[in-house]
Amino acid sequence: MSDPSHLFPGKHFISTVLDALETKTEMSGGLSRIYLMRAAMAGGLIGIMYLTNYAILAAFTTIGGGAVMDIGRIVGAMAFGFALVFIYYSKSELLTSNMMIVAIGRYYRRISRRRAGRILLLCYAGNILGGLVVALMVLGSSLADGAVGEQMQHSVDVKLDYVAGGLTGWSDLFLRAVLCNFMINLAMLLVYNGLIKDDFMKSLAMIMSVFIFAFVGFEHSVANTVLFMIVGFQHGIDIGLALGNLAIVLLGNLVGGGVLIGYYYAYANDDRKFLRRQGTPDAGAGTGDDAPSA
């Protein structure tokens, strides 16, 4: 029988993800409060780093317009890129990367729909809680005053205009959300696949993935949630449009991370049919339906 390792080079990635899934499943059950705390840390980090992005934009606004503002967008997006690095190395829990993990778990039938939904709901609740804490801290300070607040308000107006724009705006928003989580989880694939050994290169992959979504203008559900809370507490917000934005972006993020990365790579690295054709007695072991817990 030919060695299938070169035909399914992503097996290490799948195995690592399934190991992570088992940890998340256990934590979201008997250790749900700890899991919620880890998710809250991710939401808080997103809030702080997003605020930093807008503070950098505001700083460049005071220098000048045109090309200077473009440089500010680049620097701000690059700074925001560190958010995923901080989340990964602090072992925090982010909704959008968990979308990929539970999708792969569902493909290999390692987790029920109910448990998958519980993981995602608990994670999003924790992300919101962490973002809420940051939003309240911003409200009680002068951090979002002046040009910083203006930059954040402008961003919110753009995001809500997608929803107010009808079907054209909805489809635009949806596709931006798909591409956002595609990039986020592509970075996680590079981190999990075992080919990158150096922490610097792992960090660079994560920074660049977030830089791309922030600079190009993709849409991230957790970042939007925190931004809406910060601006809403400061100046008020159209709750209906904000909820509409989050509903569309959550769906798009699920497609981008769960389908285009999760299901795509789960299927592309499923060697069970190949092993059955080769007559391997234990075909399906490792990542299949009858595989032992990772």
Position 281 scores a pLDDT of 53
Please tell me the number of Cα atoms within 13 Å of 152 on its side-chain side.
34
Apex CA 177: angle with CA 12 and CA 130, to 5°? Answer: 80
Span 68-126, pLDDT tens digits: 888 999 999 999 999 999 999 999 999 999 999 999 999 999 999 999 999 999 999 99
The helix/strand/coil state of 278 is coil
The helix/strand/coil state of 112 is coil
Residue whose entry in the numeric block shows the structure tokens 């500010």 = 72
CA 121 to chain centre: 14
Query: Cβ atoms within 10 A of the Cβ of 180, count?
Result: 29
The identity of residue 86, as a single letter, is F
Position 6 scores a pLDDT of 61
The segments of the chain whose pLDDT lies below 70 read 1-9, 273-294
Position 1 scores a pLDDT of 47
Position 271 scores a pLDDT of 75
Position 274 scores a pLDDT of 62
Structural domains in the chain plus CATH codes: 9-270 (1.20.1080.10)
